[in-house]
Structure 1
Amino acid sequence: MSLDRYRWDQKAQQLRFQQLEVVRRQAESWRTGLAGVTALLGAVLVVKGREGFADLADPFRWIVAALLAAGLALLVAATLRALSAASGSPSGEILLTGEDLESWTGREVMRVRRGLRFALGATVAGIILVAGAVGVTWFAPSAKPAGTLLEVRAGSALHCGRLVRAGDGVIVVEIGRTLRVLPLDAVTAMETVEKCP
């Protein structure tokens, strides 16, 4: 056997006994990375499109809330799983023989690897959900109609809708999908309102 082959064999034997420390270091790196990703997502949420999602149309408001809650839950689960993989879990088991230690090490290495795979998948899914929520806030319609809402009394009739145009002796108000043209000389009262009755 050559000297190089002998040294490679020795290194392989040493690595066999250090595999738990290696996967724990990988888990610590993942834990640090997850903390960075979570902080980055927090910054993105602060700089996102709208100030909030309370003014979104009804189904979209609940979709955004569900996406954010699910994304946050996945990111928290990923961080906790990576933390558990990096730090291990408390155990009252005392290993007295080499065989027991070898068996426990093999099980622990597999547990840490499963934890890291879960953390990676949960992180990707959480980021996708949060990005989807931000996208919905950007593109979903608002519950509030664009424009000024007016309540106009013309004679005995009360009209409430979005102001489309005022001028040339008329006021044009959109009520639902209908445009109502009201002559200014028939208007007895007019005021802006937050919502129509």
Structure 2
Amino acid sequence: MTSEYRPTLPERGPSAADLAERDAFAKLAAESLSVTRKSAETWRTGLSAFVTLVTAGVVVKGRDSTSAMTTEWRLAVTLLLGGGLILAVLGLWQVLGVQAGIPKSVTLETIRARFASVAAFEVSIASDAADGIRRAQKLVAVALCLLIGGVVATWWAPAAPARPPAYLKVEHGSSTSCGELQSADDGQIRLKVSGAGAPVVIPAASVANMAVVAACS
């Protein structure tokens, strides 16, 4: 035959310090959700301004900053800046979700079945919200690294090599001249030949052949 369980009284009742701890924790639990939401609101305001500022800078200066780069460097800068913007927006979205609150309706029965009390439910929601803010902080930290990397890359990226100038090779009489074309008027062709102080003037009537070449050999 099983004996009936009889709870026993503790040796002493809660002290004043124990009661103060209990009341302090109850107050902390009651305010945790509102404090977390205020923190999310602060982060949301800052992130909104940050994303707006960075987006405007990238849109306005992006093409000017990358137009003179090689294709490889332009692709790298695009990935860095674009990835940074995407992560910053994701961080903002995360904070907005935290600030928006509970995504679906709940009932008292559901809260009691899962959390036992409304206070425990609020603490759980506040904990989830704090986790969301930490995830947003990590996303923004990575976004900042990518954006800074993209900006630094625009400072140090080498300019794309200029297209090689076209040289004109002219066969005239028994000579051949090659250089940059300066003018062709009044029946004369003027070439800027490397090593010559004055342009070489060739009468058009003496030209036997001419061709555009990439370099004068």
Is this a same-fold pair by TM over 0.5?
yes
Post-superposition offset of 1:136:
1.1
Query: TM-score normalised to the size of structure 1?
Result: 0.69
Q: Which has the larger radius of gyration?
A: 2
The verdict on how the C-alpha distance between 1:160 and 1:67 changes in structure 2, with shifts beyond 3 A counting, is farther
Paired letter, 2:193: I
> Hey, what does 1:153 align to over in structure 2?
168
> Hey, what does 2:94 align to over in structure 1?
81
Paired letter, 1:171: V
Q: What secondary structure does 1:154 align onto?
A: strand
Structure 1 contact 45–134 (Cα < 8 Å) conserved? no
Paired letter, 2:99: A
Distance 2:52 2:21 in 1: 42
The verdict on how the C-alpha distance between 1:142 and 1:13 changes in structure 2, with shifts beyond 3 A counting, is same
Q: What secondary structure does 1:150 align onto?
A: coil
What does 1:99-138 correspond to in 2, within 5 Å? 99-138=116-155
Structure 2 contact 69–159 (Cα < 8 Å) conserved? yes
The verdict on how the C-alpha distance between 1:152 and 1:70 changes in structure 2, with shifts beyond 3 A counting, is same
> Hey, what does 1:171 align to over in structure 2?
193
Comparing 73-82 with 102-111, which one deviates more in the overlay?
Answer: 102-111
The verdict on how the C-alpha distance between 1:159 and 1:139 changes in structure 2, with shifts beyond 3 A counting, is farther
Q: Unpaired runs of 5+ in structure 2?
A: 1-14, 181-190, 205-213
Structure 1 contact 82–115 (Cα < 8 Å) conserved? yes
Q: What secondary structure does 1:141 align onto?
A: coil
| Partner of residue 21 from structure 1, selected from 34, 50, 59 | 34
Q: Unpaired runs of 5+ in structure 1?
A: 162-168, 173-180, 189-195
Structure 1 contact 81–115 (Cα < 8 Å) conserved? yes
Could you give the per-residue CA deviations for residues 134-187 of structure 1, whole angstroms, max 9, x where no partner exists?
Answer: 111121112242xx85322122589799xxxxxxx9534xxxxxxxx5784277
Distance 2:19 2:125 in 1: 29
Paired letter, 2:94: R
Aligned alpha-carbon RMSD (Å)? 3.7
What does 1:7-86 correspond to in 2, within 5 Å? 10-42=23-55, 44-45=57-58, 51-86=64-99
Q: What secondary structure does 1:143 align onto?
A: coil
Structure 1 contact 48–134 (Cα < 8 Å) conserved? no
Distance 1:104 1:55 in 2: 57
Distance 1:127 1:59 in 2: 22
Q: What secondary structure does 1:142 align onto?
A: coil
The verdict on how the C-alpha distance between 1:6 and 1:95 changes in structure 2, with shifts beyond 3 A counting, is closer
Q: What secondary structure does 1:108 align onto?
A: helix
Structure 1 contact 70–126 (Cα < 8 Å) conserved? yes
Structure 1 contact 150–160 (Cα < 8 Å) conserved? no
Number of residues of Structure 1 aligned to a counterpart in Structure 2? 172
